[in-house]
Amino acid sequence: MNELKAKFSSQLQVFVYGTLKPGEAYHQQYCANKLVSAQQAIAYGKLFSLPAGYPAMTVGDNLVYGYLLEFSDANVLSDLDILEGYHPSRQKNNNLYNQEQVEIFDLQRKKQAEAWIYLMTRHKVEQLGGKTQDDGWWSGIGITPP
C-alpha cells in the first residue's frame, strides 16, 4: 500500500461513476458489504462510454455524476486497484486507469470531500474508442440520472 493510501487507514472515500455505482455490475461484489455510506455526488471531468461496456473519465471541466462511497477499511483500494487495472509502480500510460484524489461535490455543488477516483488518460480513451457522454451520466443497466 502506498503512502497516500496509508493516510486513509480509518476511513476511505472513493468517487465512482460507472460499474461500481449502486445497482451497477460490480457494486455488489466490490462495495456493497463494505460500505459505511453512499451518496450521490459530482466531480469535474469528462465522461466517456467505451465499446467494452464500461465508462472512463478524464480530467476536464464538465460535471460527472456518480456516488461518493465511504468505507471503513482502506484495504478496499487494493481490490479496486486490481479491477481498475491500476498499479502504482507502473507508468501512467501502462495502467488502464490511474488513481488520483479530486474534490467531490454534492448535487448542489457544495464541496463534500477529497476522494480517490480512477481516471483514464485521454490517449487511452482514444485507443479504446471512447464516445463522449455529454450529460455526465453513465449506466450499464439503464439506471437513470439523479
CATH code of residue 48: 3.10.490.10
SS (H, E, C) the chain: CCHHHHCCCCCEEEEECCCCCCCCCCHHHHCHHHEEEEEEEEEEEEEEECCCCCEEEEEEEEEEEEEEEEECCCCHHHHHHHHCCCCCCCCHHHCCCEEEEEEEECCCCCEEEEEEEEECCHHHHHHCCCEECCCCCCCCCCCCCC
Asked if the structure places residue 144 within a domain, the reply is no
Q: What is the mean pLDDT of residues 123-131?
A: 97
Evaluate whether 67 touches 15 at the Cβ level (below 8 Å).
yes
> pTM, whole model, 2 decimals?
0.91
- pLDDT > 60? residue 75: yes
Asked if the structure places residue 142 within a domain, the reply is no
Q: What is the mean pLDDT of residues 21-50?
A: 96
Q: What is the pLDDT of residue 4?
A: 44
Distance of alpha carbon 120 from alpha carbon 24, whole angstroms: 19
Asked if the structure places residue 137 within a domain, the reply is no
Domains of the chain: total: 1
Asked if the structure places residue 44 within a domain, the reply is yes
Asked if the structure places residue 120 within a domain, the reply is yes
Distance of alpha carbon 142 from alpha carbon 37, whole angstroms: 23
Asked if the structure places residue 56 within a domain, the reply is yes
Question: Domain span at residue 64?
Answer: 3-132
Q: What is the pLDDT of residue 33?
A: 92
In percent, the amount of the chain with pLDDT more than 70 equals 93
Asked if the structure places residue 67 within a domain, the reply is yes
Instruction: Kindly report which listed range (8-12, 39-43, 44-48) carries the lowest average pLDDT score.
Output: 8-12
